[in-house]
Each structure stands twice: as C-alpha cells, then as structure tokens.
Chains A and B, each alone.
Chain A
Amino acid sequence: MTRPVSIVLPALGDTELFEANLPSLLEDLERRALGDEVIVVDDTGEDVLAAWLAERFPAVRTVAHEVNRGFALALRSGVEAARHDLVFSMNTDVRVRAGFLDPLVACLDDGDVFAVAPRVLLNGDPEKIESVTSLRVRDGLAELHQAALGSEPGRSALEPSPIAFAVGGTCLFRRDEFLACGGFDPMYAPFYWEDIDLCWAAWRAGKRTLYQPASVVEHHHRGTIGKLIGDDVVRAAIEKNRLLFQWKHLDGDERLAEHAAALYRLTLDAWLGDQRDELVWLNLALEQADEALKARASLPEAKAGFDEILRRSSPGKP
C-alpha cells in the first residue's frame, strides 16, 4: 500500500534548477493525490527562496536557515519539518520521472530496509546509472565503485539489489529513523561521503539500503560547486572525507593495521614523490581526526562488522 511522502530539497540560490526540475515533481505528486509535500530548505543564509517559490510554486513549503550551514544540516532541517513518515531527499539538480515514488515506497514495507534509492540516470542517460554503489578496500584504503556508471549496465542494474549507499542522498527513508540516527554527519562538511556514512551506519545496525530500478530519476549534474571553488577543492573534500569515513567505521585489528600501514605508505609516497596534494588532503583529514574518533566512539554496538557489510552491501547479493 502506498503512502504519502515528504520531499526534502536542501537548496542554495539556484532558481533555474527549480524551474527546470520542480514542475515534473509537482505534477507527479499531484497525480498521486496522496497529500505528498515538497519542502525546500533555503540554505543561502539570506532567505531568498521563500518569496520566489511562493510566487511560482505556491505548493512548495520553505524552511530557511539564517546562516548557511551546509547540505547535511539543511537536509536535517527539512526532515525535521516533514509532516509525513516517509521522506524522499533529493538535490535540486534531480528531475523525477513519472511514478518514481511508488516502487520506492513499496520497498520500505520491509522493516529491515533503511533506505531505498531509485535508478539515478546521470544527465538522463539510460546507460549511466549512478545508484548501483558499492565500497571496496584496496591496499588498506576504501574506495567507491559505481558498477553501472562507466559501462553497459549489467544485470544488477535491472533488478532490485542491495547497495552500499544511496548516492547524493537521493533516496526514500523513514523520517523517525533518520532523525534517530542523527541524519547526515556534519563532520563531512562541506560535502561528499555523508550519504555513504548514513547508509553505512544503517547497515551496521543491521538494516539494509536497496536499489530499486523501477523508480527512475535523472541527475542533471552541472558541476556548479566545482566551478565556484575549483575542482581541486572538491577533490580535497572527497579525499578528506574518504579518510574520515574510514576512521569512523573501520573495525577489526587487521583492517585497522592494514589501513594505518596504508596511511604511512601514502605519507611516505607523497613526501618522496613530491605529491603535495595528497599531503594536503591527509592534513585536512587529520585536522578532523578527533571528530572522527569521537564519532567512532559514539557508534552503537555493531550488528555487522565492516567486512560483513562490504559483502552484504555489494550489488547483486541477495
């Protein structure tokens, strides 16, 4: 049985994206006629969106941050403001296709499912599916893998399957569960890896994250932030957070020893090979090491260890 959903969109001041992507969303929700709601969280810190949205899309609710607080906290504010039990979070550059919600809602009938991600087509290309995600560990360092992004989508892209995380936070989840686990960890500011962290924590608690290809949305990636601050800064954020994630979640003596050895190797390699960037990334992460260790210490007891989650969250696994 389908249920009403609150759609939460953390947003900066990009009204062009609203004009491009909100109509299809509102149209689909109207078709569902279940009383779904759309909440835009204005994270510009200047409260510029409410008036604009009220004029063009009066059905949209707006929550404004007095100061810019970043994607994680903006999403949390939106979820807190949501009226329904189910919340679909998405970025403003996502354009939904008709009927995207029902298959996702159906998946959440299973109480063990924490979140469910739609088939996210990069720039609408059916051959490039972003949401078939997994994590790998190579030489002591974790790395992301998107199995259906680079090449022709395999079987795993056509059937529902477990995934490591819902990419870009584009997924449906239960409001209460999200708020109970604290939502996105602000440690990952300014962006990236917070979505992995959230789903990984759920996997750790014995819950699952699923990929539901019957639900389709398009991600019209524009690299806006890269243009604003430079791709090198974006890369630095990704690499910093990759390390923070591991410091928070890696477990087992062997894994930790392997990772610690990898960090020393990385440091030596960077120093001897004049790879300054890598030393900058490592320093950025190390400056937040205390935060990561604190988050690690406050994790509830694990129902599944890191390696077990690696196995269970691989797409295609039952």
Chain B
Amino acid sequence: MRICLVSHGFPPLERTGVENYTAALAAELAARGHTVEVFAPRVRAELPQLSLRREERDGYGVNWITTNVPPRDPEEALEVPGVAGRFGDFLDRERPQVVHFQHLVKLGIGLVDQARRRDIATVYTAHDYYAVCHRYTLLRPDLSRCEIVGDSMLCARCDLALGHLNGKEGLGDYQMGVLPEQLDEGEGDALRELLDEGEPEALGHSLDELDAVFDRRQELDGRRAQAYGALDRILAPTRFLASQLVRGGIDPDKVQVLPYGIDTSHVAGVPPVAPRADAPLRFGFLSGLSKHKGVHVLIEAFRRLREPAELAIWGYSSDEPYVERMRAAAAEAGAVWRGGFDRDELAGCLAETDVVVVPSIWVENQPIVIREAFAAGRPVIAPRLGALPESVNDGVDGLLYEPDDADALAAALARCVREEGLVAKLAAGIQPVHEVAGQCDELEPVYAEVGAERRLPRDDGLPASVRAFAERYDELRTLPTRTLYERALQGLEKLRAGFGGEPGGTSVEDLLRRALKSGSRVQTRLRDQRREADWMKETLDFEQQEVTWMRTVVADHEAAIRALEEERDWLRSVVQGKEQEVAWLSSELDKVRGEVLRAAGVGEQVGMHLKNTAELGLAALQAQEHVLGEEVRPLLEILERVTRENGETPPDAPRRRASDDPALLESLVQDVREGARRLMELENELAWRRSEMQGALVQSNRRLAKIFLARTGLGSRINRWRIEDARRAGEASE
C-alpha cells in the first residue's frame, strides 16, 4: 500500500514524542513492504520558501517542505500560505492511497482538503486536543483547565487574555500560560475573571473588543471544524481524548480509540530497578520543561518531602524565565538539575532513575515517556488527570495523586521511600508495552478500510463499454506520477520494438536527442523561466540603480532642505533683528514723540507765558498810562490854565500825556516790542518743532510700513519653503 505520513516535524531535526512515533511508524510500515512517504516541514534558510526536497531513509522517503516564513497571524497559522498547494503537488507525484496525518500544526488544515480533492483516504491521529482547541492543551492562559470544550466565546476569552499577556515583558512562553507569581497584584484575579465569563474591563478591555475577538475566533474554529470533519478516520490513543474530541464536535462515528504502539528499542537493556544499599530512592523527571508538564509541582512536592530521596530533572525548554525559576527552585529544594537530553541518552537517564514522575497539570493524553519508563521497568507517579489513569494503574504499575496538589504528590513520593518493597512491587506490576509492530497490525486494516471507502464504484447507469474504460482511467489516476512515468518508458520501449525497427532502427538515445532538439515544453519553460529570471534581474538591477539615484536625489534634497533651513534660520535672525530694530525705532519714536510733545508743551507754555507777560505788560502799560493820564490830566489842566494865563499856547494834550515820561514810555514800548518779537520767535520755533515732529512721524511711519512689508514677505517665503520641504520629504520617503 502507498502510505503518506504527515507530521509537524521529523527526526533528526525534531525528536519529541510525535516525531519519534511517526519515524518508528514509517520504518515499520516500510519494513512490511508498504511504500511510505513522510511529509514534514523544516526551516532551511538557504532554500526558497515552499521548496520540496526528498531524501531516502531506511526504506522510506522524507519529503521536506521549507517553511522559513513564520505565520503572521492566527489565520496564517491555521492555513499556512502555499503549503497546501505544494502538498497537492507532492500528492500528485506520490499518489498515496492513504494519508495518515499526525499533526497539522506548522502545515495547516488545507492539507486535508488537498487529499480529499484527489479522493485519497485520510486518517488522523489526535496526539493532543488541536482538533478542538486551538491551544492544543485545553489549558487556559492562567494554567487552569478548560472544562467546556469547543465554545468559541470561551476560546475568544483565551485569545483576549493572551493578547493581554502578549503586552507584558518577561513572561517567557506566555502562550502556554503564566504562573500566578508572574503577574502583578490583582492581575491574576482580573485574568481569571475574564476567563470565567466575567467582564473584560477588569483587564482594561471592552466588550466590543471581546465581541470582535469572538467573531474572529468563531470564523477560525469553523474552518478548523470543517477540515477535521472532512477526515475519514480519527484515531485517539485514549478514551479520554476521544471523549473530548466528541465533546468538541467531532463526529463520534469517525473516532476510534487506538492506544499507542511505540518503538522501545532505544530503552532496551536498561537494568531493572534494584534496591541500593543505604542509598536514597531516585525520582526522575524526563520531559519537556514547558509549564504544562508541571515540574514546578514536583519541585514543590520534593521540597516538602521529609524522607531521604533524590530528584533529578532532565529536560529542556525555550521558556527561559520559567526554566530559570525552576532551576533556582530545584537548587533550593535539593534536586539535581540535569538539563536537556537526547533520545539516545534516555536509557542512561532511566538507568539512574528508580521512579519516573509525570507531574503534568494539563489533561494529558498518553505520554510516550510513560511507555518508555514502563519499557525500562520503571514505575510512574502521575496525577489522576485526563487520560493518565488510562496509562498508570494506581498501586499496580505506579501511583496516582490528586492533580496540582504538591502535598499529595509529596505523599506519593514519601510512600515510595517509606513502604519497603513498594517500588519493586510496582515495577513487577508493569505490563509489556504495546510496540510499534502491534500498532501497525492495527493500522493496516484501518488504512485498508478507509481506502476502500474512498474507492467508490462508477455510476451503475454507465454503459458497460464506457464504464470499463472509466474505471481503468480511475485506476491509473491513483498511481504515483513516478510509476506512470516508469510504466510509460517501459511501454514505449515495447512499442518501439513492436514497430519492428521501422523507425529506422533509431536508438532511444537518438530519439531523445531528436525529441529534445525539436524543443521540449519543459526546456521551453526552463528557458522562459531563465529569461524571466534574467529579466527580473535586469529589472532589479535597474531598480537598484533607480534606488541609488533616488538616494542621491534624496541626499540632494536633504542638502537643499538643510540649506533652506539655514537660510530660514538666518532670515529668522534677520527678522528678529528687524523686529528689535522696529522695537527700538518704536521706542525712539516714542521718545521723539515725547520730546516733541514736551517741546510743544514747553513752547506753548513759554508762548503763553510771554503772551501773558506781554499782555500783562500791555495792561500794566495801559494801566500806567491810564494812571499817568489821570495824574497828568490835572497837571495839564493846570499847565493849560497857566499857559493861557501866561498867554502861551498850551501844548497838545496827548503830547503832553506821552511826554509825561518819554524815556520810561519809550522803554516800555521797547519792552512790548521785544515781547512781541520774542513771542513771534517762540511761535516760529513752535511751528518748526511741529513740522519737525510731523516729518519724524512720517519718516517713522514709512520705516514701519517697510518693516511690515519685509516681515510679510519673509513670512510667505518661509511658508513656501516649509511646503517645499514637506513635499520633498514626501517624495524622498516614496
């Protein structure tokens, strides 16, 4: 039978449970005469994304697909872009009769559809809960166990919680979940409230946000359910896992419980557990150091253990914060930290261990390490959790304890130390491990059955002559391309012979030479591709030149911008200077104004004073004149009378009045004239000063207007430069 095994990893690159199981299956099936092809992803930086490379192993082929580009979002993780199409090419080439999927993570659910489209039967072994839980483990981000399977709203709450944890530093592998001590005070409660159908606000998220996450999760869950629903058979190694799959919506008619059969050759030869005189009992942890494996529970239990015992911890994880925490806790508890181990070293690890502890906190399926421990005759202590009770028979081949309970585990450890003969009794209770050969005995009928279900007969309504041809056509289409090719070459050779040397006795070599000379499609395609590659290279070169040119342009622009900025700064300083100048001029103007005003005031005051003085003078003169007139009049009258009496002509009355004191009068007149002249001078000075002031004002206003214009011009230039800067910056970034 032609069988394809699909796994998310494969030895030697990946060597954990599922990968080793798949490799053992491939080797055993191939040894039984089946044609086995393995399809698995790997990261190879030197190969193009999605390239396919085949390598021969012990009787089977491994087809590696290069997946260098990690998924960018949950959608891409669910359906890894391009992988399904390449799987389709692989299926066409190999045409397996059955595809046995071990895991679809890293490859995507689209692979199932590719097999279906080709009417190839499909079997899937559920090694975890991925078919119904996008987190594989049914563990929530706070490391509590999900009790309700397949509820998209609860799954959305997990998504939202993970989104929250994603924003925090130093959590390590937060995807698996976080320990309470890794969270801030109150944060753990808020996380649990969100997961327990509470309000998302406690963690700073809105209901709208939760609704959006729910819509997305529902869509993704729908697609996953559709893919898993299209499988022909789903194998579950344990009854518990099978029940969870059915709870999650998988068709129970498709689910079949089939416990693992594993290759135990690598742990053969481990000496049986034997009492060591005066030496403490040795407990061992041999697993991945991811949080769900629960080593923290074991370390805590060992810390509480009062009985003399040893604990060795073997394992590796990339979750460094957790590992560091555990390493420190182990040291404090007195456990020995042994670090990572290779599968080939497992026998040695088990030889140093009397009892294997599997302290998982998730609902384990059927850990291979338990099978391996049993194969080496080591009893196992495990929690009463998930499918573990299906693997460990309490008191017969191991002990079970209440999950998550360090005290309960410590008690189980203590029993092993205290109860004499208990470990030996448990070791004696171990049943032979189901081997890979037995597994293949079970799988072969499954493959045959699903294969037969897929080979549906042609419609009975077809005329016999047509049906016979159609059925033969169908049969040939199920053959691998390689087989079709080889058969065609054989058939052509026979045909050539059948022509009885008619084609001029031409040899195959000649025919091939001739065939390829006249132009094969593949040759043409290769030439076209080479031409296209050349063209693309030219385009790339040209674009690189463009980029170089653009860089110089950008550099030029940047220099221009810098120059403009310098000019702008200079202009700013000029404007600042001008503004200072304007301010100075304004203050100067104010001063001038003040002076002018003061001068005008003084002038006016002086003028007024002079005028007043002059007027007062005039008034005084008039008053004096009047007084003199009054005084002179009687004297004149006397004089007239005297004159008359003396026969003399009396002088003119005014002459007499003016000549009363001609010198004084003359002096007064001079004074008045002087006052008037002075007044005139002062008025002239005032007028001059006014005109000066006017002139200064006009000049100041003109300068102000000029400064204003200069400022406006500079402002608009600066704006223009800014706009230009922005435009150039935009061009440069494009």
Q: With A189-B465, A228-B462, A269-B520 given, is the CB distance from A283 to B484 under 8 Å? A: yes
Select one of B92, B465, B472, B504 contacting A69, CB under 8 A.
Answer: B465
Contact A263 B492 (CB under 8 A): yes
- Verify if B470 is at the interface (C-beta below 8 Å from A): yes
Please measure, in the bound complex, the distance between the C-alpha atom of A263 and the C-alpha atom of B508, giving whole angstroms.
11
- Which of A189, A254, A265 is the one whose CB lies under 8 Å from B518? A265
In angstroms, Cα B495 to Cα A287, docked, is: 10
Q: How far is the CB of A263 from chain B (nearest CB, A)?
A: 6
| B463: interface (CB < 8 Å) | yes
Question: Are B516 and A265 closer than 8 Å at their CB atoms?
Answer: yes
Q: Which of A230, A256, A268, A280 interacts with B520 by CB under 8 Å? A: A268
Give the contacting residue for B485; candidates A68, A139, A279, A293; CB below 8 A. A279
Give me 18 other A-B pairs in contact (C-beta within 8 A), A271-B485, A274-B89, A287-B472 excluded.
Answer: A43-B463, A139-B518, A139-B519, A190-B470, A228-B461, A229-B466, A233-B473, A237-B469, A257-B511, A260-B506, A261-B514, A268-B520, A270-B488, A271-B481, A280-B473, A286-B494, A289-B491, A289-B498
Question: How far is A229 from B463 in the complex, measured between Cα atoms in Å?
Answer: 10
Residue A290 interfacial (CB < 8 Å)? yes
Can you give 6 contacting A-B residue pairs, CB < 8 Å? A69-B464, A190-B469, A233-B473, A262-B515, A276-B477, A286-B495
Chain A interface size, under 10 / 10 to 19 / 20 to 34 / 35 or more: 35 or more
Residues of chain B within 8 A (CB-CB) of A16 are none
Given contacts A257-B511, A265-B518, contact A286 B491 (CB under 8 A): yes
A233-B469, A280-B476 as given contacts; A68 in contact with B522, CB under 8 Å: no
Q: Does A142 contact B (CB under 8 A)?
A: no
Contact present for B484 and A260 (CB under 8 Å):
no
Which residues on the A side are within 8 Å of B458 (C-beta)? Answer: 229
Give, as a whole number of angstroms, the nearest-CB distance from A138 to chain B. Answer: 11
Q: Which residues of A contact B472 (CB under 8 A)?
A: 284, 287
Supposing A45-B463, A228-B461 touch, asked if A274 and B92 sit within 8 A by C-beta, the answer is yes
Are A270 and B485 within 8 A (Cβ)? yes
Check: A253 CB closer than 8 A to any chain B CB. Answer: yes
Task: Contact check, A282 vs B491: say whether CB atoms are below 8 A apart.
Answer: yes
Count residues of chain B with CB under 8 A from any CB of chain A: 48
A236 to B468, CA, bound (A): 13
CB distance from B97 to the nearest CB of A (A): 16
Known interface pairs A70-B463, A276-B92. Does A257 touch B504 (Cβ–Cβ under 8 Å)? yes
A19 to chain B, nearest CB (A): 20
Q: Given the known A-B contacts A44-B463, A293-B498, are A273 and B522 also in contact in the complex, defined by CB atoms under 8 Å?
A: yes
| Nearest neighbor of B515 in chain A, beta-carbon distance | A265
The answer to the question of A1 belonging to the interface, with a C-beta cut-off of 8 Å to chain B, is no
In the bound complex, do residue B459 and residue A228 qualify as a contact, i.e. CB atoms below 8 Å apart? yes
Q: Interface readout for A114-134 with B: 1 if CB under 8 Å, 0 if not?
A: 000000000000000000000
Establish whether residues A284 and B515, one from each chain, have CB atoms under 8 Å apart when the complex forms. no
| Chain A residues with CB under 8 A of B463 | 12, 43-45, 68, 70, 190
List the B side residues contacting A34 at CB < 8 Å: none
Chain B window 618-662, contacts with chain A (Cβ cutoff 8 Å), 1 for yes, 0 for no: 000000000000000000000000000000000000000000000
Q: Min CB distance, A79 to chain B, in Å?
A: 18
Alpha-carbon distance A225/B521, docked complex (angstroms): 31
**Chain B residues near A (Cβ < 8 Å):** 89, 92-93, 458-459, 461-470, 472-473, 476-477, 481, 484-485, 487-489, 491-492, 494-496, 498-499, 502-504, 506, 508, 511-512, 514-516, 518-522, 525
- Asked if A272 CB lies within 8 Å of chain B CBs, one says yes
A260 and B503 contact, CB distance less than 8 A: yes
Closest to A289 in B: B495
Q: Is B504 touching A67 in the complex (CB atoms < 8 A)?
A: no
Complex contacts, A69 vs chain B, CB 8 Å? 464-465
Q: Can you name the residue of chain A whose Cβ is closest to the Cβ of B458?
A: A229
Whether A178 is near chain B, meaning CB under 8 Å from some CB there, is no
User: B489 contacts which of A140, A267, A290 (Cβ < 8 Å)?
Assistant: A267
> Does B521 contact A273, Cβ atoms closer than 8 Å?
yes
Chain B nearest CB from A194 CB (Å) reads 12
Min Cβ gap A188→B in Å is: 10
Chain B residues whose CB sits within 8 angstroms of the CB of A268 once the complex forms: 512, 515-516, 520, 522
CB pair A253 B503 closer than 8 Å? yes
Q: Give the shortest distance, in Å, between B733 (CB) and chain A (any CB).
A: 44
Q: In residues 233-256 of chain A, which contact B (Cβ within 8 Å)? A: 233, 236-237, 247, 253-254, 256
A253 and B488 contact, CB distance less than 8 A: no
A30 → chain B closest CB, angstroms: 32
Interface string of A283-308 (1 = CB under 8 A from B): 11011011001000000000000000
Give A80-131 interface residues, CB cut-off 8 Å to B.
Answer: none
> CB-CB < 8 A to A253: which residues of B?
502-504
Residue of B469, B494, B504 most packed against chain A (CB within 10 A): B469
From A139, A267, A270, A280, residue with most partner B Cβ within 10 Å: A280
User: Chain B residue with minimal CB distance to A243?
Assistant: B495
CB of A218, distance to nearest CB on chain B (Å): 25
Min CB distance A280 to B, Å, is: 5
Instruction: Determine the chain A residues whose CB is within 8 A of the CB of B488 once the complex forms.
Output: 267, 270, 279, 282-283, 286
| Cβ-defined contact, B491 with A45, below 8 A | no
Pairwise interchain contact A264-B465, C-beta atoms closer than 8 A = no
- Please report the C-alpha to C-alpha distance between residue A282 and residue B494 in the assembled complex, in whole angstroms: 13
* A201 and B556 alpha carbons, distance in the complex (Å): 81
